[in-house]
A and B are shown apart, each in its own frame.
Chain A
Amino acid sequence: KAGVTQTPRYLIKTRGQQVTLSCSPISGHRSVSWYQQTPGQGLQFLFEYFSETQRNKGNFPGRFSGRQFSNSRSEMNVSTLELGDSALYLCASSLGDTDTQYFGPGTRLTVL
């Protein structure tokens, strides 16, 4: 089975712009979670989707949003980018919301 894929792998944006990141889960997985990883804060949970419904949400501002499509693919959007949004964004998929999560390679976002 193919693993979790994320596109793009690298992205450079400027402050104020918006960005959309994409995640394709492992075939058959219905749960997709998003995480932000920075050197200072480590891994932080953004949100989790299961069957197109947001099940959990982390403590991030409303500029961070996401959605999941009927084929389980997920996108996350960050609007009005700030310098502090520079991070590695990881997506993970699992069969159900309590099962082992398998991570994608991440999208490295740099905000200038």
Chain B
Amino acid sequence: SQELEQSPQSLIVQEGKNLTINCTSSKTLYGLYWYKQKYGEGLIFLMMLQKGGEEKSHEKITAKLDEKKQQSSLHITASQPSHAGIYLCIVRGGSNYKLTFGKGTLLTVNP
């Protein structure tokens, strides 16, 4: 079965700083989703990457998919307190299209 490893597990940054979160897969990545979760709440869809080399941006968040490295990265530019939360990478795969989840990266942004 496919496994996703996220790094770092947690991250504390000062407001205004840039940061990167990585998601590494144990198998070839054919597509990947990034979600954000506020503690105790539902997951908010951020972006979907569907092919190697793809890069998408939304506001100050950029996600890339490196198929060769079996890795995706999420980069936040000029972080703000509103960026705080848990970031999860998720893939759908296998014969039954089940979702596999990363453990999440807890981001704290200090004002």
Contact = CB atoms under 8 A, between A and B. Distances in A.
A101 B40 contact: no
A4 B45 contact: no
A104 interface: yes
B42 interface: yes
Interface in B1-49: 33, 35, 40-45, 48
Which size class do B's interface residues fall under? 10 to 19
A56 B99 CA distance: 11
Contacts of B96: 55-56
A85 interface: no
Contacts of A92: 43
B83 interface: no
Interface residues of A, number: 23
A102 B99 CA distance: 13
A26 B63 CA distance: 26
B98 interface: yes
A104 B98 contact: no
25 contacts: A4-B42, A33-B99, A42-B103, A42-B104, A43-B101, A45-B98, A45-B99, A48-B98, A56-B96, A56-B98, A58-B98, A90-B42, A90-B43, A92-B43, A97-B97, A100-B33, A100-B45, A101-B45, A101-B99, A103-B35, A103-B42, A105-B42, A106-B40, A106-B42, A108-B40
Q: Which 4 A-B pairs have the closest CB atoms?
A: A103-B42, A103-B43, A43-B101, A105-B42
Given A45-B99, A90-B43, 14 more contacts: A42-B101, A45-B98, A48-B98, A55-B96, A56-B96, A56-B97, A56-B98, A58-B98, A98-B92, A98-B97, A101-B45, A103-B43, A105-B41, A105-B42
